[in-house]
């Protein structure tokens, strides 16, 4: 819950970075092994995570579009003619 609150409450990149560091310290001191993996992942990618505060946008739109492409491709059980497939995608989703 505290990790999610960072995104709702912090308005600047510096504040978010400070709160993320505090969260990481709390997780480290708690001793919960299940949070250790998450904390290490966040520690490895914290610069990319904090970039959210530059524009306030995520990659959710592109992930949704990728899911639509996968669903469209699975309807036809694969792609034989790549050019025609791309043509159909542009007509349906552009």
- Are residues 69 and 48 part of one domain? no
Q: Which two tokens stand for residue 58?
A: 């995520």
- Are residues 71 and 40 part of one domain? no
Do 39 and 22 form a contact (C-beta atoms < 8 A)? no
User: What is the 3-class SS of the chain, one letter each residue?
Assistant: CHHHHHHHHCCCHHHHHHHHHHHHHHHHHHCCHHHHHHHHHHHHHHHHHHCHHHHCCCCHHHHHHHHHHHHHHHHCCCCCCHHHHHHHHHHHHC
The tens digit of pLDDT for each residue in 41-70 reads 878 887 887 777 777 666 777 788 788 778
- Are residues 67 and 41 part of one domain? no
- Are residues 71 and 38 part of one domain? no
Residue-range definition of the domain harbouring residue 26: 2-55
The total number of structural domains in the chain stands at 2
- Are residues 84 and 40 part of one domain? no
Do 4 and 49 form a contact (C-beta atoms < 8 A)? no
- Are residues 87 and 51 part of one domain? no
- Are residues 65 and 44 part of one domain? no
Q: Which two tokens stand for residue 37?
A: 């993996």
pLDDT bucket at 17, cuts 50 / 70 / 90: confident
- Are residues 46 and 9 part of one domain? yes
The confidence score (pLDDT) of residue 48 equals 80
């Amino acid at each position: 819950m505290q990790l999610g609150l960072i995104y709702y409450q912090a308005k600047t990149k510096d504040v978010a970075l400070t709160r993320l560091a505090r969260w990481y310290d709390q997780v480290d001191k708690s001793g919960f092994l299940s949070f250790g993996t998450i904390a290490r992942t966040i520690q490895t990618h914290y610069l990319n995570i904090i970039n959210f505060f530059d524009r306030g946008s995520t990659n959710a739109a592109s992930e949704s579009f990728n899911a639509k492409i996968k669903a469209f491709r699975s309807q036809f059980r694969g792609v034989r003619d790549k050019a025609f497939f791309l043509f159909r995608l542009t007509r349906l989703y552009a």
